[in-house]
Amino acid sequence: MPQTKQPDIFQKEKELIDEMSRIAQQEDFEAQDIHGDFKNLLKQYKRLLRQTEALTKTSDNTQHKLITIQDRLGRYVSPQLKKKILSLKEKVEIQTRRRKLTVFFSDIKDFSTITSHMESEALSELLNRYLDEMTVIIHKWGGTLDKYIGDAIMVFFGDPVFESDAKHAMQCVNMALDMRDRLKELQQGWFSEGYQEPLHCRMGIATGYCTVGNFGTSERMDYTIIGSTVNLAARLEDACDVDDILISHETWGLVRDHTICSHPEALSLKGFTQPQIAYKLLGAKDEDEQKILHLENEELGYSIKLNPNRFSKQDLIELIEKIQL
Amino acid sequence: MNIQSLHVPLKKSTPAVDFDVDNALLKIEGESYPENAYLFFQDVLKWLEEFFAQCDRKITFEIKIPYMNTSSTKVFTDIFDMVEDFAGKGGEVLVRWFYEEDDEDSYYNGVELLQELEFPKEMVPYLDE
Protein backbone atom coordinates (compact mmCIF):
# COMPACT_ATOMS: atom_id res chain seq x y z
CA MET A 1 0.00 0.00 0.00
CA PRO A 2 1.58 3.32 -1.01
CA GLN A 3 2.22 5.99 1.62
CA THR A 4 1.71 9.54 0.40
CA LYS A 5 3.19 12.56 2.15
CA GLN A 6 0.60 14.90 3.60
CA PRO A 7 1.07 18.56 4.59
CA ASP A 8 2.96 18.40 7.86
CA ILE A 9 1.34 19.79 11.02
CA PHE A 10 4.63 19.35 12.91
CA GLN A 11 6.67 21.58 10.58
CA LYS A 12 7.73 24.08 13.29
CA GLU A 13 8.90 21.33 15.63
CA LYS A 14 10.87 19.71 12.82
CA GLU A 15 12.54 23.01 11.92
CA LEU A 16 13.59 23.44 15.55
CA ILE A 17 15.12 19.97 15.60
CA ASP A 18 17.00 20.69 12.36
CA GLU A 19 18.34 23.91 13.88
CA MET A 20 19.40 22.17 17.11
CA SER A 21 21.04 19.38 15.09
CA ARG A 22 22.98 21.98 13.09
CA ILE A 23 24.22 23.64 16.31
CA ALA A 24 25.18 20.27 17.82
CA GLN A 25 27.34 19.52 14.80
CA GLN A 26 29.33 22.75 14.99
CA GLU A 27 33.05 22.24 15.55
CA ASP A 28 33.32 24.13 18.84
CA PHE A 29 30.14 22.61 20.24
CA GLU A 30 31.93 19.59 21.75
CA ALA A 31 34.03 21.95 23.82
CA GLN A 32 31.05 23.45 25.55
CA ASP A 33 29.99 22.08 28.97
CA ILE A 34 26.33 21.73 28.05
CA HIS A 35 26.77 19.58 24.98
CA GLY A 36 25.87 16.30 26.76
CA ASP A 37 22.68 17.75 28.20
CA PHE A 38 21.83 19.39 24.90
CA LYS A 39 22.25 16.19 22.90
CA ASN A 40 20.14 14.27 25.36
CA LEU A 41 17.48 16.96 25.23
CA LEU A 42 17.50 16.84 21.45
CA LYS A 43 17.21 13.04 21.43
CA GLN A 44 14.27 13.13 23.84
CA TYR A 45 12.60 15.90 21.87
CA LYS A 46 12.95 13.95 18.63
CA ARG A 47 11.50 10.90 20.33
CA LEU A 48 8.62 12.91 21.77
CA LEU A 49 7.83 14.42 18.38
CA ARG A 50 7.90 11.00 16.73
CA GLN A 51 5.56 9.65 19.39
CA THR A 52 3.18 12.61 19.08
CA GLU A 53 3.17 12.26 15.32
CA ALA A 54 2.43 8.53 15.52
CA LEU A 55 -0.28 9.08 18.13
CA THR A 56 -1.96 11.81 16.10
CA LYS A 57 -2.00 9.73 12.94
CA THR A 58 -3.13 6.50 14.60
CA SER A 59 -5.85 8.48 16.39
CA ASP A 60 -6.98 9.89 13.03
CA ASN A 61 -7.02 6.35 11.62
CA THR A 62 -9.16 5.18 14.52
CA GLN A 63 -11.59 8.07 14.05
CA HIS A 64 -11.78 7.26 10.35
CA LYS A 65 -12.59 3.68 11.22
CA LEU A 66 -15.28 4.81 13.68
CA ILE A 67 -16.95 6.97 11.04
CA THR A 68 -16.88 4.04 8.58
CA ILE A 69 -18.48 1.79 11.21
CA GLN A 70 -21.18 4.40 11.88
CA ASP A 71 -21.87 4.60 8.17
CA ARG A 72 -22.16 0.82 7.93
CA LEU A 73 -24.40 0.68 11.00
CA GLY A 74 -26.77 3.08 9.24
CA ARG A 75 -27.27 0.49 6.51
CA TYR A 76 -28.50 -2.10 8.99
CA VAL A 77 -30.79 0.03 11.17
CA SER A 78 -33.05 3.04 10.72
CA PRO A 79 -31.50 6.53 11.04
CA GLN A 80 -33.47 7.06 14.28
CA LEU A 81 -32.22 3.83 15.82
CA LYS A 82 -28.66 4.56 14.70
CA LYS A 83 -28.85 7.91 16.49
CA LYS A 84 -30.24 6.20 19.58
CA ILE A 85 -27.48 3.57 19.58
CA LEU A 86 -24.73 6.16 19.14
CA SER A 87 -26.13 8.48 21.81
CA LEU A 88 -24.26 7.84 25.04
CA LYS A 89 -27.21 9.24 27.00
CA GLU A 90 -29.20 6.07 26.29
CA LYS A 91 -28.34 2.99 28.33
CA VAL A 92 -27.98 -0.23 26.35
CA GLU A 93 -30.08 -2.54 28.48
CA ILE A 94 -33.15 -4.74 28.44
CA GLN A 95 -35.84 -2.13 28.89
CA THR A 96 -39.27 -1.65 27.36
CA ARG A 97 -42.09 0.88 27.56
CA ARG A 98 -45.69 1.25 26.38
CA ARG A 99 -46.26 3.65 23.56
CA LYS A 100 -48.93 4.31 20.95
CA LEU A 101 -47.48 3.44 17.55
CA THR A 102 -48.66 3.05 13.99
CA VAL A 103 -47.46 -0.30 12.71
CA PHE A 104 -47.06 -1.34 9.08
CA PHE A 105 -46.69 -4.76 7.47
CA SER A 106 -46.30 -5.56 3.80
CA ASP A 107 -45.49 -8.58 1.73
CA ILE A 108 -45.46 -9.70 -1.87
CA LYS A 109 -48.41 -11.96 -2.64
CA ASP A 110 -47.23 -15.49 -3.48
CA PHE A 111 -43.60 -14.39 -3.69
CA SER A 112 -42.26 -17.90 -3.09
CA THR A 113 -44.45 -19.41 -5.81
CA ILE A 114 -43.73 -16.65 -8.33
CA THR A 115 -39.98 -16.86 -7.81
CA SER A 116 -39.73 -20.65 -7.40
CA HIS A 117 -38.40 -21.10 -10.96
CA MET A 118 -35.77 -18.36 -10.59
CA GLU A 119 -32.08 -18.94 -9.98
CA SER A 120 -31.03 -17.89 -6.48
CA GLU A 121 -28.77 -15.12 -7.85
CA ALA A 122 -31.62 -13.56 -9.84
CA LEU A 123 -33.98 -13.98 -6.89
CA SER A 124 -31.51 -12.24 -4.55
CA GLU A 125 -31.09 -9.39 -7.01
CA LEU A 126 -34.85 -8.94 -7.44
CA LEU A 127 -35.52 -9.09 -3.70
CA ASN A 128 -32.67 -6.76 -2.82
CA ARG A 129 -33.75 -4.21 -5.40
CA TYR A 130 -37.31 -4.33 -4.10
CA LEU A 131 -36.20 -3.99 -0.45
CA ASP A 132 -33.72 -1.26 -1.34
CA GLU A 133 -36.38 0.82 -3.09
CA MET A 134 -38.87 0.32 -0.26
CA THR A 135 -36.28 1.21 2.38
CA VAL A 136 -35.57 4.54 0.69
CA ILE A 137 -39.30 5.31 1.01
CA ILE A 138 -39.35 4.17 4.68
CA HIS A 139 -36.51 6.60 5.48
CA LYS A 140 -38.18 9.37 3.45
CA TRP A 141 -41.25 9.20 5.71
CA GLY A 142 -39.27 8.75 8.94
CA GLY A 143 -40.34 5.16 9.66
CA THR A 144 -38.39 2.87 11.96
CA LEU A 145 -37.56 -0.25 9.97
CA ASP A 146 -38.10 -3.09 12.41
CA LYS A 147 -37.11 -5.96 10.16
CA TYR A 148 -37.28 -7.68 6.78
CA ILE A 149 -38.83 -11.13 6.94
CA GLY A 150 -38.03 -12.55 3.52
CA ASP A 151 -40.10 -10.36 1.21
CA ALA A 152 -42.15 -8.96 4.10
CA ILE A 153 -41.36 -5.59 5.68
CA MET A 154 -42.25 -4.45 9.19
CA VAL A 155 -42.08 -0.75 10.01
CA PHE A 156 -43.40 1.38 12.86
CA PHE A 157 -43.85 5.07 13.56
CA GLY A 158 -43.70 6.76 16.98
CA ASP A 159 -40.46 5.46 18.46
CA PRO A 160 -37.62 6.24 19.12
CA VAL A 161 -38.79 9.70 17.99
CA PHE A 162 -42.33 10.60 19.12
CA GLU A 163 -44.19 13.51 17.55
CA SER A 164 -47.96 12.98 17.53
CA ASP A 165 -50.26 10.03 16.90
CA ALA A 166 -51.90 11.78 13.94
CA LYS A 167 -48.56 12.64 12.35
CA HIS A 168 -47.24 9.08 12.71
CA ALA A 169 -50.40 7.62 11.20
CA MET A 170 -50.29 10.07 8.29
CA GLN A 171 -46.59 9.43 7.66
CA CYS A 172 -47.34 5.71 7.61
CA VAL A 173 -50.21 5.90 5.10
CA ASN A 174 -48.22 8.25 2.87
CA MET A 175 -45.32 5.78 2.99
CA ALA A 176 -47.65 2.91 2.06
CA LEU A 177 -49.11 4.84 -0.88
CA ASP A 178 -45.61 5.77 -2.07
CA MET A 179 -44.50 2.15 -1.82
CA ARG A 180 -47.47 0.94 -3.83
CA ASP A 181 -46.86 3.53 -6.55
CA ARG A 182 -43.15 2.73 -6.68
CA LEU A 183 -43.80 -1.00 -6.94
CA LYS A 184 -46.00 -0.35 -9.98
CA GLU A 185 -43.17 1.60 -11.59
CA LEU A 186 -40.66 -1.13 -10.75
CA GLN A 187 -43.06 -3.66 -12.22
CA GLN A 188 -42.75 -2.09 -15.65
CA GLY A 189 -38.97 -2.14 -15.48
CA TRP A 190 -38.85 -5.75 -14.32
CA PHE A 191 -41.26 -6.85 -17.04
CA SER A 192 -39.04 -5.31 -19.73
CA GLU A 193 -36.04 -7.04 -18.10
CA GLY A 194 -37.73 -10.42 -18.55
CA TYR A 195 -39.56 -11.03 -15.27
CA GLN A 196 -42.91 -12.10 -16.62
CA GLU A 197 -44.81 -12.56 -13.36
CA PRO A 198 -45.84 -9.20 -11.88
CA LEU A 199 -45.25 -8.70 -8.17
CA HIS A 200 -48.27 -7.59 -6.17
CA CYS A 201 -48.06 -6.20 -2.67
CA ARG A 202 -50.40 -6.35 0.28
CA MET A 203 -50.17 -3.88 3.14
CA GLY A 204 -51.73 -3.62 6.58
CA ILE A 205 -51.62 -0.65 8.97
CA ALA A 206 -52.83 -0.48 12.58
CA THR A 207 -52.48 2.08 15.36
CA GLY A 208 -52.50 1.30 19.07
CA TYR A 209 -50.45 0.74 22.18
CA CYS A 210 -47.41 -1.51 21.80
CA THR A 211 -44.55 -2.54 24.03
CA VAL A 212 -41.41 -1.13 22.46
CA GLY A 213 -37.75 -1.41 23.42
CA ASN A 214 -34.88 -3.82 23.72
CA PHE A 215 -35.87 -7.47 23.99
CA GLY A 216 -33.51 -10.39 24.44
CA THR A 217 -30.52 -10.80 26.71
CA SER A 218 -27.74 -8.45 27.81
CA GLU A 219 -25.52 -10.17 25.20
CA ARG A 220 -27.90 -10.04 22.24
CA MET A 221 -30.69 -7.48 22.06
CA ASP A 222 -33.30 -6.77 19.47
CA TYR A 223 -34.98 -3.37 19.37
CA THR A 224 -38.52 -4.23 18.34
CA ILE A 225 -42.20 -4.04 19.27
CA ILE A 226 -44.78 -6.52 20.50
CA GLY A 227 -48.51 -6.33 21.21
CA SER A 228 -51.97 -6.87 19.71
CA THR A 229 -51.54 -3.83 17.41
CA VAL A 230 -48.60 -5.61 15.75
CA ASN A 231 -50.76 -8.71 15.27
CA LEU A 232 -53.61 -6.59 13.90
CA ALA A 233 -51.37 -4.91 11.30
CA ALA A 234 -50.02 -8.30 10.25
CA ARG A 235 -53.52 -9.82 10.02
CA LEU A 236 -54.84 -6.86 8.01
CA GLU A 237 -52.00 -7.33 5.56
CA ASP A 238 -52.89 -11.00 5.35
CA ALA A 239 -56.57 -10.19 4.71
CA CYS A 240 -55.75 -7.71 1.93
CA ASP A 241 -56.54 -8.13 -1.72
CA VAL A 242 -53.54 -7.67 -4.01
CA ASP A 243 -52.27 -4.11 -4.34
CA ASP A 244 -54.56 -3.00 -1.51
CA ILE A 245 -53.80 -1.28 1.76
CA LEU A 246 -56.03 -2.04 4.73
CA ILE A 247 -56.00 0.30 7.70
CA SER A 248 -57.48 -0.27 11.15
CA HIS A 249 -60.32 1.78 12.57
CA GLU A 250 -57.99 3.64 14.94
CA THR A 251 -55.63 4.57 12.10
CA TRP A 252 -58.59 5.69 10.01
CA GLY A 253 -59.70 7.97 12.87
CA LEU A 254 -56.33 9.74 12.70
CA VAL A 255 -56.07 10.10 8.91
CA ARG A 256 -59.66 10.29 7.62
CA ASP A 257 -59.58 14.05 6.98
CA HIS A 258 -56.55 13.70 4.74
CA THR A 259 -57.22 10.43 2.94
CA ILE A 260 -59.78 8.78 0.72
CA CYS A 261 -60.90 5.46 2.15
CA SER A 262 -63.55 2.87 1.34
CA HIS A 263 -66.58 2.20 3.51
CA PRO A 264 -65.78 0.25 6.68
CA GLU A 265 -65.69 -3.52 6.57
CA ALA A 266 -65.94 -5.80 9.61
CA LEU A 267 -63.30 -8.48 9.23
CA SER A 268 -62.95 -11.72 11.18
CA LEU A 269 -59.24 -12.02 11.77
CA LYS A 270 -57.24 -14.85 13.30
CA GLY A 271 -56.31 -14.08 16.90
CA PHE A 272 -59.14 -11.59 17.44
CA THR A 273 -62.38 -12.68 19.05
CA GLN A 274 -64.35 -9.64 17.82
CA PRO A 275 -64.66 -8.58 14.17
CA GLN A 276 -62.22 -5.78 13.39
CA ILE A 277 -63.34 -2.72 11.44
CA ALA A 278 -60.99 -1.87 8.60
CA TYR A 279 -60.89 0.42 5.58
CA LYS A 280 -59.24 0.20 2.20
CA LEU A 281 -56.90 3.14 1.78
CA LEU A 282 -57.60 4.50 -1.69
CA GLY A 283 -55.43 7.61 -1.74
CA ALA A 284 -54.39 10.82 -0.05
CA LYS A 285 -56.36 14.01 -0.54
CA ASP A 286 -54.40 16.78 -2.16
CA GLU A 287 -54.39 20.33 -0.79
CA ASP A 288 -57.38 21.38 -2.94
CA GLU A 289 -59.41 18.39 -1.89
CA GLN A 290 -58.88 19.20 1.76
CA LYS A 291 -60.82 22.44 1.26
CA ILE A 292 -63.88 20.62 -0.08
CA LEU A 293 -67.17 21.84 1.39
CA HIS A 294 -69.39 19.01 2.47
CA LEU A 295 -73.03 20.16 2.62
CA GLU A 296 -75.31 17.53 4.01
CA ASN A 297 -78.84 17.50 5.41
CA GLU A 298 -80.53 14.14 5.81
CA GLU A 299 -83.97 15.65 6.58
CA LEU A 300 -84.02 17.71 3.42
CA GLY A 301 -82.41 14.88 1.52
CA TYR A 302 -79.22 16.32 0.11
CA SER A 303 -75.55 15.60 0.37
CA ILE A 304 -73.26 17.80 -1.74
CA LYS A 305 -69.47 18.04 -1.89
CA LEU A 306 -68.10 21.21 -3.47
CA ASN A 307 -64.55 22.25 -4.27
CA PRO A 308 -64.60 26.09 -4.08
CA ASN A 309 -61.36 26.24 -6.08
CA ARG A 310 -62.94 24.55 -9.05
CA PHE A 311 -66.62 25.46 -8.69
CA SER A 312 -67.62 29.13 -8.66
CA LYS A 313 -70.77 30.71 -7.18
CA GLN A 314 -72.06 31.25 -10.75
CA ASP A 315 -71.51 27.53 -11.51
CA LEU A 316 -73.60 26.71 -8.45
CA ILE A 317 -76.47 29.00 -9.50
CA GLU A 318 -76.45 27.42 -12.97
CA LEU A 319 -76.53 23.97 -11.43
CA ILE A 320 -79.51 24.84 -9.23
CA GLU A 321 -81.35 26.24 -12.24
CA LYS A 322 -80.67 23.02 -14.14
CA ILE A 323 -82.01 20.94 -11.25
CA GLN A 324 -85.20 23.10 -11.13
CA LEU A 325 -85.68 22.48 -14.83
CA MET B 1 19.39 -15.25 31.52
CA ASN B 2 18.12 -14.61 35.01
CA ILE B 3 14.58 -13.85 33.95
CA GLN B 4 11.37 -15.89 33.69
CA SER B 5 9.03 -15.95 30.70
CA LEU B 6 6.00 -13.67 31.00
CA HIS B 7 2.45 -14.77 30.22
CA VAL B 8 -0.63 -12.58 30.61
CA PRO B 9 -3.95 -14.08 29.42
CA LEU B 10 -6.14 -12.41 26.82
CA LYS B 11 -9.05 -10.42 28.25
CA LYS B 12 -11.85 -8.41 26.64
CA SER B 13 -9.98 -5.11 26.68
CA THR B 14 -6.37 -6.22 27.11
CA PRO B 15 -4.15 -8.30 24.84
CA ALA B 16 -2.45 -11.61 25.58
CA VAL B 17 1.23 -11.19 26.36
CA ASP B 18 3.44 -14.18 25.66
CA PHE B 19 7.13 -13.46 26.19
CA ASP B 20 9.09 -16.66 25.69
CA VAL B 21 12.61 -16.26 27.07
CA ASP B 22 13.92 -19.60 25.72
CA ASN B 23 13.14 -18.69 22.11
CA ALA B 24 13.48 -14.92 22.53
CA LEU B 25 10.03 -14.63 20.96
CA LEU B 26 7.87 -11.85 22.35
CA LYS B 27 4.20 -11.87 21.29
CA ILE B 28 1.43 -9.40 22.06
CA GLU B 29 -1.96 -10.24 20.56
CA GLY B 30 -5.51 -8.93 21.03
CA GLU B 31 -7.41 -5.69 21.32
CA SER B 32 -5.97 -3.14 23.72
CA TYR B 33 -8.22 -0.55 25.30
CA PRO B 34 -7.81 -0.81 29.09
CA GLU B 35 -9.10 2.05 31.22
CA ASN B 36 -5.56 2.67 32.40
CA ALA B 37 -3.01 1.49 29.85
CA TYR B 38 0.00 2.24 32.07
CA LEU B 39 -1.47 0.17 34.90
CA PHE B 40 -1.87 -2.80 32.58
CA PHE B 41 1.46 -2.44 30.78
CA GLN B 42 3.70 -1.41 33.71
CA ASP B 43 4.76 -5.02 34.45
CA VAL B 44 5.31 -5.61 30.73
CA LEU B 45 7.53 -2.50 30.44
CA LYS B 46 9.47 -3.45 33.58
CA TRP B 47 9.97 -6.98 32.24
CA LEU B 48 11.17 -5.68 28.87
CA GLU B 49 13.62 -3.31 30.54
CA GLU B 50 15.21 -6.21 32.42
CA PHE B 51 15.08 -8.48 29.38
CA PHE B 52 16.77 -5.99 27.04
CA ALA B 53 19.47 -5.39 29.65
CA GLN B 54 20.31 -9.10 29.77
CA CYS B 55 19.53 -10.40 26.28
CA ASP B 56 22.38 -11.18 23.91
CA ARG B 57 20.39 -13.16 21.32
CA LYS B 58 18.26 -12.17 18.37
CA ILE B 59 14.81 -11.10 19.55
CA THR B 60 11.65 -11.45 17.48
CA PHE B 61 8.70 -9.27 18.43
CA GLU B 62 5.30 -10.24 17.01
CA ILE B 63 2.47 -7.77 17.44
CA LYS B 64 -1.10 -8.42 16.36
CA ILE B 65 -3.38 -5.72 17.72
CA PRO B 66 -6.57 -5.21 15.68
CA TYR B 67 -7.57 -2.23 17.82
CA MET B 68 -5.73 -0.12 20.37
CA ASN B 69 -6.78 3.04 22.15
CA THR B 70 -4.60 6.14 22.25
CA SER B 71 -3.08 5.33 25.68
CA SER B 72 -2.11 1.87 24.47
CA THR B 73 -0.60 3.39 21.34
CA LYS B 74 1.54 5.62 23.55
CA VAL B 75 2.76 2.55 25.45
CA PHE B 76 3.70 0.87 22.17
CA THR B 77 5.70 3.93 21.11
CA ASP B 78 7.59 3.57 24.42
CA ILE B 79 8.16 -0.14 23.79
CA PHE B 80 9.49 0.57 20.29
CA ASP B 81 11.81 3.24 21.68
CA MET B 82 13.19 0.58 24.04
CA VAL B 83 13.63 -1.75 21.06
CA GLU B 84 15.42 1.01 19.18
CA ASP B 85 17.76 1.61 22.13
CA PHE B 86 18.47 -2.13 22.23
CA ALA B 87 19.19 -2.16 18.50
CA GLY B 88 21.30 1.01 18.84
CA LYS B 89 23.55 -0.81 21.31
CA GLY B 90 24.14 -3.60 18.80
CA GLY B 91 21.23 -5.87 19.79
CA GLU B 92 19.70 -7.95 17.02
CA VAL B 93 15.93 -7.58 16.72
CA LEU B 94 13.06 -8.02 14.27
CA VAL B 95 9.61 -6.50 14.83
CA ARG B 96 6.76 -8.12 12.90
CA TRP B 97 3.57 -6.07 12.76
CA PHE B 98 0.52 -8.13 11.83
CA TYR B 99 -2.37 -6.34 10.15
CA GLU B 100 -5.65 -7.66 8.85
CA GLU B 101 -5.62 -7.88 5.08
CA ASP B 102 -7.82 -5.17 3.50
CA ASP B 103 -7.80 -3.17 6.74
CA GLU B 104 -5.95 -0.04 5.70
CA ASP B 105 -6.26 1.58 9.13
CA SER B 106 -4.53 -1.33 10.86
CA TYR B 107 -1.79 -1.29 8.22
CA TYR B 108 -1.18 2.45 8.47
CA ASN B 109 -1.18 2.32 12.28
CA GLY B 110 1.77 -0.07 12.03
CA VAL B 111 3.46 2.14 9.45
CA GLU B 112 3.02 5.26 11.60
CA LEU B 113 4.35 3.58 14.70
CA LEU B 114 7.36 1.97 13.07
CA GLN B 115 8.36 4.08 10.10
CA GLU B 116 11.12 6.25 11.58
CA LEU B 117 12.57 3.67 13.95
CA GLU B 118 15.97 2.27 13.15
CA PHE B 119 15.63 -1.49 13.46
CA PRO B 120 14.41 -4.24 11.09
CA LYS B 121 10.63 -4.57 10.83
CA GLU B 122 8.10 -6.40 8.69
CA MET B 123 4.48 -5.74 7.87
CA VAL B 124 2.67 -9.10 7.83
CA PRO B 125 -0.89 -9.41 6.46
CA TYR B 126 -3.27 -11.99 7.91
CA LEU B 127 -6.80 -13.10 7.10
CA ASP B 128 -9.40 -12.73 9.82
CA GLU B 129 -10.47 -16.21 11.00
Give me the mean pLDDT over the A182-195 stretch: 85
Compute the nearest-CA separation of B22 from chain A (Å): 31
User: At A308, is the pLDDT very low, low, confident or very high (cuts 50, 70, 90)?
Assistant: low
For the question of whether the overall pTM of this predicted structure is more than 0.90, the answer is no
pLDDT tens-digit series, residues A1-45: 444 555 566 777 788 888 888 888 877 776 667 777 788 888 888
Q: Shortest CB distance from B77 goes to which of A54, A62, A64?
A: A54
pLDDT at B65 over 70: yes
Q: Shortest CB distance from B111 goes to which of A3, A62, A65?
A: A3
pLDDT of residue A234: 96
Cα(A284)–Cα(A175) distance, integer angstroms: 11
CA nearest to B76 within chain A: A51
User: At A323, is the pLDDT very low, low, confident or very high (cuts 50, 70, 90)?
Assistant: confident
Residues of A with CB under 8 A from a CB of B: 1, 3, 47, 50-51, 53-55, 57-59, 61-62, 64-65
Q: Shortest CB distance from B112 goes to which of A57, A64, A65?
A: A57
Q: Shortest CB distance from A51 goes to which of B74, B107, B111?
A: B74
Spell out which residues of chain B touch residue A50, defining contact as CB-CB under 8 Å.
Answer: 77, 116-117
Please write down the long-range contacts of B19-23, taking CB distance under 8 Å and 24 or more positions apart: B19/B44, B19/B47, B19/B48, B19/B51, B21/B51
Please write down the long-range contacts of A215-223, taking CB distance under 8 Å and 24 or more positions apart: A215/A94, A215/A96, A216/A94, A217/A94, A218/A93, A218/A94, A221/A92, A221/A94, A223/A77, A223/A81, A223/A84
B118: DSSP letter: S
pLDDT of residue A105: 97
Greater confidence, A35 or B109?
Answer: B109
Q: Do A62 and B70 count as a contact with CB atoms less than 8 A apart? A: yes
Cα(A183)–Cα(A106) distance, integer angstroms: 12
Greater confidence, A71 or A287?
Answer: A71
DSSP assignment of A256-311: GGGEEE---EEE--TT-SS-EEEEEEEEE--TTGGG-EEEEETTTTEEEEE-TTTS
User: At B92, is the pLDDT very low, low, confident or very high (cuts 50, 70, 90)?
Assistant: very high
ipTM of the shown complex? 0.72
Taking one residue from A and the other from B, the number of pairs with CB-CB distance under 8 angstroms is 46
Give me the mean pLDDT over the B92-115 stretch: 89
Please compute, for residue A23, the number of CA atoms within 13 A of its CA located in the half-sphere on the CB side. 12
Q: Nearest CA to A223 among A235, A238, A211?
A: A211
